[in-house]
Structure formats: C-alpha cells, structure tokens
Amino acid sequence: MFSKILIANRGEVAVRVIRAAKELGIRTVAVFSEADASSLHVKLADESVCIGKAPASDSYLNIPSIISAAEITDVEAIHPGYGFLAEDAHFAEICESCQIKFIGPTPENIRIMGDKMAAKNAAKKAGLPITPGSKGIVNTKEEALSTAKKIKYPVIIKASLGGGGKGMRVCHNDVRLVGAFLTAQREAEAAFGNPDVYIEKYIEEPRHIEFQILADSYGHVVHLGERECTIQRRHQKLIEESPSPALDAKVRKKMGDIAVRCAKSIGYVNAGTIEFLMDKNNNFYFMEMNTRIQVEHTVTEMLTGIDLVKEQIKIAAGEKLKYKQDDIKFRGSSIECRVYAEDPDNDFRPCPGRIAALNLPGGPGIRIDTHIYQGYEISPYYDSMIAKIISYGSSRRQAISIMRRALDEFILEPIKTTIPFNREVLSNPSFLRGRFTTAFVDKLLEAKERIK
Ligand code: MV4
C-alpha cells in the first residue's frame, strides 16, 4: 500500500479522499490555490502546497505545478477527484512517466471513453445496445441528411469530444438539420479543438440511469448497482438516488451484466460509471462511460457498505478486488441532494460569500459530505456545489422523509442555496411516485414561472 498520496483537487471531494486515505493509514498532501488557503482540505491534510493563483487554469489545472508539488513532497500516487484533471489522459500519462501512480483508469481507458464516437463503437463491439445513428463521424451535410433519412427525425447531433451535454443539438427536419450540422461542427472546433460530430436518433424524455463498476488490474470486474440521475437542470445533476424507482429486478440484472461486459471489453481498471438512456418503454441504450469517481458515488456506498474511494486507492496500489458479484448485497434506499450556493429564484445565479451562520443536519440516516464551515468564504472561482446531503432508509419512502427532515435542519446564512428547490422536488407528486424524466426540472420551473 502507498504511504503518502497527493490529492489534486479541492472542496468536498478533496476532503472525501483525505478521509479514505486516513482510514487506510496513508499520509496526505493537499494542493491549494491562493483562494483556498483556509479551505478544509488544507486543514485536514498532513501537508499542503500552494500551486498557484485562484483561476483553476493557474492552479488545479496546472500540471507542472501539481507534478512539482508531488515530487517535492515525495508522494507515491495522485488522486484526481472529479472534474479538473480527473479525465485528462495526458495528465494520467505524465504521472506514470514521473513514476507517480495515477489513482484512476489507464490513459488508454480515459482516451477511448473521452472520444464519444470511439466509446460508442467500443460499446457496440462489446454487444451493448446503442442508439441508432451514423456509423462514425459525419463529415458532410449530405451524409447528415442521409443518416437522418435512415433513422428518422428527431435526431441529435453530438460532438465527438463533447459529453455531459456540451455541443449537442436536436433536429426535427431536413431544413434545420443542415444549419445545425454546420453550427455544431464549428462549435465543436471552438470548444474542443476538433470539429468531429456524429448523429443519432433522439430519445425523447428519457431517464438517465448509470451503473457503478469496480475493476482491478487483474481483469476482475463487478458492478455496484445503479443510480437514478434523471433530476437535472442544464446537465447539472440536482438529486440522485439508488435504487432507481424505474428498474425491476430483471432489467437491473440485464443492465448490470451489460455494464460489466462493457468495462471488461476495454480492459478497464479502477472505478467507473456506465451511463444509460432509458426510454418510455424501458428500452435502454449505452450513452457514455465516466472514467472517474463521481459526485453521486455516495448513494451507492450507502446501499452496498463499500467505500468506493478506498477501493480506488487499493486497486491503484495493485490489490485484488475482494468481492465477487454475488458478494455485493444491496440494502435499503438512498437519496443525495446536492446543495449549490445558487439562487433558485434567480435562474440559479451563483451566490458566493462568507458563511456567517451554519447548521448542518444530522441524526439517524443522514450523511453530509462538505468542505464548508462557519466563517468559510465561498469562492466565486469554482463550482458552486457546497455540500451533499445523503439520506439512507429502509425504503424509498423512508429515505425521502429522512431527507425532508434534514433539509429543514439545514441553516446557512446569508447565502442563497438550492435547498428550497430540493424541498419542492421532494414533495412533488410525480417525484414521490417515481415517475419523472429529464424534462422534470424544466416543467417544474415553468409551472412556477406561470404562477409568479
Ligand atoms: C441523448 C438524449 C436523447 N437522445 N442522446 C445529455 C448529456 C449527454 N451525456 C447525452 N445527453 C443526452 N443524449 C440521444 N440519442 C438526451 C440527452 C439529454 C440528457 C441525458 C441525460 C440526462 C439529462 C439530459 C438532458 C438533456 C438531454
């Protein structure tokens, strides 16, 4: 096992990784920007190194600074958390070439899944269900039109290096398709330095369901069940839960087996997530694979009792998985509400500032993952997620009532947060019945707008 690792991240995930390392008896090095000198991850780590100015490009994305910090402090491995450099194949490569273990998948794993068309082709080759669409990159408007003719409207144009909703365009007819195709190419070039786009059948009002997998370096792969991530706004997830109210045992088994097959087929190592789109008739399709630990990994931990971050570190250190698929038991129901320092009544505008008063919820069935404390200054430079509230109960109803009680306990002054919005979702009849699609949040906000 490693004796010392560096955490190339900030905020709640840096704290999360430090906790896992501590429990494994590993010493920790925090890196921080000039804006984060008094951040919790710096206080909790054994050592810390300032790596640059507040803008992420000068600090948390600054590879030479991070590698220098790792060399100076003599760490054996780097955990990237999520965001920043977590899915940067080049960074993973540089770590390895400096004899520093990257706690995550191989550079090849990251590269193939970062190219969404290549990922789709790999998934297809492994026998996964994929949405009908172009065989590969679509290069001309004639090809775009013939693809649409074959799969029929509506279609969606996606940037090959996009993902997470960036650079997507939905089209309903030939007239719109040509313009949208050319714009999508131009936008992809500007955003990702590569104009490649592909086209697929647009699945209307789907659900987003993802499977957590763990893979060791010896080809052993298990899945840890699904997460329901359909409650999103502009590709920002707001509430996640496990199990998904949309799956029965049969579909769950089928999707889990498929997720494992996908990871095995590309020789995947470490923790990863296979995302699926599910349509109204419960048909599901491979969408993307995330090659990192995710924000919502917590709900999976509650059901399985498995610490995913500790597993990531153990896998990177060369340990074998201790579980076979049948050893993984799922118990109860868990929900995560993300708390953003944003004003839900003002188009979710970020609300940075100093926290004057704070009460974090607690009690039975509540877990809080956060880096905030009373007196902490929420920085305008970074993501506005300030806490995750995770509830755990014996049933979905229990998990919901525990969460509603916890939301009522949360006090944070004078910053506006998305807690009131979370509360609304948790009392919405469609949500309570487990019947919702990716259009849920927009519909809720539109309904509110009408009665204003
Ligand atoms: C789609 C889709 C419908 N049909 N692909 C959004 C994020 C990126 N991972 C892919 N996304 C979508 N791909 C086809 N063929 C709808 C979405 C989508 C979406 C997916 C999951 C959760 C929320 C979403 C919100 C809007 C669009």
243: CATH: 3.30.470.20
- Look at strands 27-33 and 4-7 and give their pairing: parallel
Contact 30, 21 (CB under 8 A): no
CATH number, domain containing residue 144: 3.30.1490.20
* Residue 113 included in any domain: no
Residue 299 contacts residue 402 (beta carbons within 8 Å): no
- Looking at residue 241, its pLDDT comes to 98
- Asked which of 143, 178, 201 is the last residue of a domain, the reply is 201
Domains: count for the chain: 3
Of 91, 37, 33, 82, the closest CA to residue 57 belongs to: 33
313 domain residue, yes or no:
yes
The CB of 240 under 6 Å from ligand 1? The reply is: no
C-beta of 48 in contact with ligand 1 (< 6 A): no
131 lines ligand 1 (CB under 6 A): yes
Instruction: For the chain, list residues with pLDDT below 50.
Output: none
Q: Does residue 411 sit in the same domain as residue 324?
A: yes
Task: Give the Cα separation of 267 and 221 in Å (integer).
Answer: 10
Residues 316 and 344 in one domain: yes
- Strand-strand pairing, 284-290 and 77-79: unpaired
292 is catalytic: yes
The one catalytic residue in 169, 292, 367, 396 is: 292
Same domain, 372 and 444: yes
Residue 230 near residue 444 (C-beta atoms within 8 A): no
The gap between the terminal CA atoms of the chain, to the nearest Å, is 58
- The helix/strand/coil state of 340 is strand
Instruction: Please report whether residue 361 resides in a domain.
Output: yes
314 shares its domain with 393:
yes
Determine the pLDDT at residue 164: 73
Residues 195 and 225 in one domain: no
Q: In whole angstroms, what is the distance from residue 75 CA to residue 324 CA?
A: 31
Question: What CATH number is associated with residue 36?
Answer: 3.40.50.20
Identify whether residues 188 and 212 lie together within a single domain: no
pTM over 0.95? The answer is yes
Phi-psi region of 363 (alpha: psi -120 to 50; beta: other; left: phi over 0): left
How many angstroms does the Cα of residue 375 sit away from the middle of ligand 1? 39
Range of the domain at 412: 207-451
In a domain, 334, yes or no: yes
Cβ of 202 closer than 6 Å to ligand 1, yes or no, is yes
Residue where a domain stops, chosen among 103, 118, 145: 103
CA of 165 relative to ligand 1 center, distance in Å: 6
Tell me: do 424 and 275 sit in the same domain: yes
Residue type, 241: E
User: Nearest CA to 180 among 204, 199, 201?
Assistant: 199
127 lies in a domain?
no
Q: Is residue 122 domain-resident? A: no
Domain-ending residue, one of 84, 103, 122: 103
Q: What is the pLDDT of residue 451?
A: 87
Residues 312 and 408 in one domain: yes
Q: What is the DSSP letter of 320?
A: P
Q: Is residue 123 part of a domain?
A: no
Q: 406 — phi, psi (to 5°)? A: -65, -40
